[in-house]
């Protein structure tokens, strides 16, 4: 266990104890923060039985025993958080935000995919202080209560004074925060990267193996090329999240695999077991976030008076896989 975080920061609520929520919350609790995990019985039962284990590709391996975990199926009315991490899947954002009966102005950091969730949460609960955030790394559940970060990256948040006391807490937890005056370009950049989530889900392969398959890379390249064209028309400049400018990425992905393997060594630095959360959702027949990813570009195209057929087709294919199973 790491040294206890400064107690003046108060308790953290993880609203949406899935892969990201359990990993981030687990790191914070292992560093001494008071954390309450709010989630579905499917996940909470595993935590209650086996405790919470967080590991990563850099050798981290921390465990919180079951007796030390505070688990809830809904936000507890008898406690008040100092910080809420909103980690639910996109379709549940409005309902989750509305369920938070907490003091006005309570900071709520959206650690969710897509670009629209902070606005959805703020509209559903206007009294909350909703702060956009972005998680760049992949987390996979390797077993009951075991959550593993398989790729690199640092959490990004929009600048807000309410988060200043929390920055050293996250630092001690091994989760340093990158702060931006305007997070929107970063969110759009992450959304472009997330276009690989449905490709990975359809491939049935771990992320690394899928990226080393030229056919799957060509599918991703087509989705990205269509999205980049729409962003250009809309005057949106996504932040560059890799050494390669976005305009070169589709051509880069289409390279022959032997060349790609050498040039993409940094991109491919991930655990062989890493996979997208959407792959897990499809495998379990759960509702996915494809509408918040590819669907965002379908809606952007509509606003521009055009279409996004490749992204629309991806939405259709993923939704067909879980139709009637959700």
pTM of the model: 0.89
Phi, psi of 323 (to 5 degrees): -60, 130
Separation CA 17–CA 41 (nearest Å): 10
Sign of torsion over alpha carbons 274, 110, 232, 243: negative
Separation CA 210–CA 204 (nearest Å): 8
How buried is residue 316: exposed, middle or buried, by Cβ count under 10 Å (0-12/13-18/19+)? exposed
What does the pLDDT profile of the chain (326 residues) look like in tens digits?
444 444 446 799 999 999 999 999 999 999 999 999 999 998 899 999 999 999 998 999 999 999 999 999 999 887 899 999 999 999 999 999 999 989 999 999 999 999 999 999 999 999 999 999 999 998 988 888 999 998 889 999 999 999 999 999 999 999 999 999 999 999 999 999 999 999 999 999 999 999 999 999 999 999 999 999 999 999 999 999 888 899 999 999 999 999 999 999 988 888 888 888 899 889 888 889 999 999 999 999 999 999 999 999 999 999 998 875 54
Task: Go through the domains of the chain in sequence order and give each one's CATH number.
Answer: 7-181 (3.40.50.720), 187-322 (1.10.1040.10)
In residues, how long is the chain? 326
The set of residues, in sequence order, having a beta carbon less than 8 Å from that of 32 and lying 6+ positions away, is 1, 2, 3, 4, 5, 172
Distance from chain centroid for Cα 282: 16
């Amino acid at each position: 266990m790491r040294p206890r975080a400064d107690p003046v920061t108060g308790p953290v609520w993880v609203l949406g104890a899935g892969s990201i929520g359990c990993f981030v919350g687990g790191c914070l609790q292992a560093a001494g923060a008071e954390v309450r995990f709010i989630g579905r019985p499917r996940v909470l039962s595993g935590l209650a039985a086996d405790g919470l284990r967080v590991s990563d590709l850099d050798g981290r391996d921390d465990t919180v025993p079951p007796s030390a975990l505070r688990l809830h199926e809904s936000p507890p009315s008898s406690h008040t958080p100092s910080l809420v991490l909103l980690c639910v899947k996109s379709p549940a954002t409005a309902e989750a935000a509305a369920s938070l009966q907490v003091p006005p102005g309570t900071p709520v950091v959206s650690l969710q995919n897509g670009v629209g969730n902070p606005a959805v949460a703020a509209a559903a609960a206007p009294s909350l202080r909703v702060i956009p955030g972005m998680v760049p790394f992949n987390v996979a559940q390797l077993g009951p209560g075991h959550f593993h970060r398989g790729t690199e990256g640092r959490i990004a948040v929009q600048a807000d004074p309410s988060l200043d006391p929390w920055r050293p807490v996250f630092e001690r937890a091994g989760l340093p925060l990158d702060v931006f005056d305007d997070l929107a370009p970063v969110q759009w950049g992450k959304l472009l990267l997330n276009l690989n989530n449905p490709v990975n889900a359809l491939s049935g392969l771990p992320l690394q193996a899928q990226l080393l398959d030229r056919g799957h890379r060509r599918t991703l390249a087509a989705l990205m090329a269509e999205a980049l064209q729409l962003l250009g028309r809309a005057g949106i400049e996504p932040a560059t999240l890799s050494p390669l400018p976005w305009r070169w990425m589709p051509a880069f992905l289409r390279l022959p695999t032997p060349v790609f393997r050498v040039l993409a060594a940094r991109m491919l630095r991930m655990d062989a077991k890493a996979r997208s959360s959407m792959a897990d959702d499809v495998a379990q027949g759960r509702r996915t976030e494809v509408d918040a990813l590819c669907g965002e570009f379908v809606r952007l195209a509509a606003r521009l008076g055009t279409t996004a057929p490749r992204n629309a087709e991806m939405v259709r294919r993923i939704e067909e896989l879980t139709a009637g199973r959700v």
